[in-house]
Amino acid sequence: MPGMQGPSSGPGTAWTPPPKPGLVPLRPLGFGTLLGSSFQVLRRNPKASFGSALLIQALVVLVTILVVGVVTFFAVSRMTSATPEEEGAVVAGGIAAIILSGLVAVVLSFAATALLQGIIVLEVARGTLGEKLTLGALWRRAWRRLGPLILWTLLYATAVVVAVGVVGVAVALLILQGDALIAVGIILGVLGSLGLVVLFFWLFTKLSLVPSIIVLERARVFTAMRRSWRLTNGYFWRTLGVQLLVSVIMQVATQIVATPITLIFGVGSSLLFPTEVAEPEAADLGPYLALNGVLLLVTVVFGAIAAVAQSACAALVYIDLRMRKEGLDLALVRFVEHRAARGAAADLDDPYGSTAQAAAENPSGSPWA
Higher pLDDT, 345 or 168: 168
The winner for highest mean pLDDT among 227-241, 260-274, 298-312 is 227-241
| 174 is a domain residue | no
pLDDT of residue 319: 94
* φ/ψ bin of 365: left (φ > 0), alpha (ψ from -120 to 50), beta (otherwise): left
- Nearest 10 degrees: CA dihedral of 141, 147, 149, 154? 160
SS (H, E, C) the chain: CCCCCCCCCCCCCCCCCCCCCCCCCCCCCCHHHHHHHHHHHHHHCCCCCHHHHHHHHHHHHHHHHHHHHHHHHHHHHHHHCCCCCCHHHHHHHHHHHHHHHHHHHHHHHHHHHHHHHHHHHHHHHHHHCCCCCCHHHHHHHHHCCHHHHHHHHHHHHHHHHHHHHHHHHHHHHHHHCCHHHHHHHHHHHHHHHHHHHHHHHHHHHHCCCHHHHHHHCCCCHHHHHHHHHHHCCCCHHHHHHHHHHHHHHHHHHHHHHHHHHHHHHHHHHHHHCCCCCCCCCHHHHHHHHHHHHHHHHHHHHHHHHHHHHHHHHHHHHHHHHHHHHHCHHHHHHHHHHHHHHHCCCCCCCCHHHHHHHHHHHCCCCCCCC
- Please state the rounded mean pLDDT for residues 347-366: 59
| 252 is a domain residue | yes
| 107 is a domain residue | yes
| 359 is a domain residue | no
Question: How many Å apart are CA 365 and CA 327, to the nearest integer?
Answer: 9
| 255 is a domain residue | yes
Nearest to 122 by CA among 276, 352, 345: 352
| 254 is a domain residue | yes
pLDDT bracket for residue 364 (50, 70, 90): very low
pLDDT of residue 1: 43
pLDDT of residue 4: 45
Type of residue at 140:
R
Question: How many Å apart are CA 63 and CA 153, to the nearest integer?
Answer: 20
- Please state the rounded mean pLDDT for residues 71-84: 76
Residue 275's domain spans which residues? 31-158+236-346
Higher pLDDT, 114 or 214: 214
Determine if the pTM surpasses 0.85.
no
Assess whether pLDDT exceeds 50 at residue 367.
no
| 363 is a domain residue | no
Assess whether pLDDT exceeds 90 at residue 117.
no
pLDDT of residue 87: 67
pLDDT of residue 44: 87
- Nearest 10 degrees: CA dihedral of 82, 87, 93, 98? 70
pLDDT of residue 173: 83
The winner for highest mean pLDDT among 8-17, 30-39, 51-60, 223-232 is 223-232
Q: What's the number of domains the chain is made of?
A: 1
Higher pLDDT, 267 or 311: 311
Least confident of 148-162, 239-253, 330-344, 347-361: 347-361
Nearest to 67 by CA among 105, 112, 121, 25: 105
Assess whether pLDDT exceeds 60 at residue 365.
no
Least confident of 111-125, 217-231, 281-295, 335-349: 281-295
| 81 is a domain residue | yes
- Nearest 10 degrees: CA dihedral of 139, 145, 148, 153? -30
Higher pLDDT, 97 or 211: 211
pLDDT of residue 58: 84
Residue-wise pLDDT for 129-184, tens only, equals 888 888 888 888 888 898 899 899 888 888 888 888 888 888 888 777 777 777 88
pLDDT of residue 157: 82
Higher pLDDT, 73 or 279: 73
Question: How many Å apart are CA 243 and CA 311, to the nearest integer?
Answer: 9
CB atoms within 10 A of CB 308: 27
Assess whether pLDDT exceeds 90 at residue 65.
no
User: What is the per-residue burial (b if ≥16 Cβ within 10 Å, else e) of 125-164?
Assistant: bbbbbebebebeebbebbeebbebbbbbbeebeeeeeebe
Type of residue at 20:
K
Question: How many Å apart are CA 140 and CA 195, to the nearest integer?
Answer: 41
Sign of CA dihedral 16, 332, 366, 216: positive
pLDDT of residue 14: 62
pLDDT of residue 288: 62
Residue-wise pLDDT for 37-63, tens only, equals 988 998 888 888 888 888 888 888 888
Query: In percent, how much of the chain has pLDDT > 70?
Result: 80
pLDDT of residue 6: 47
Query: In percent, how much of the chain has pLDDT > 90?
Result: 20
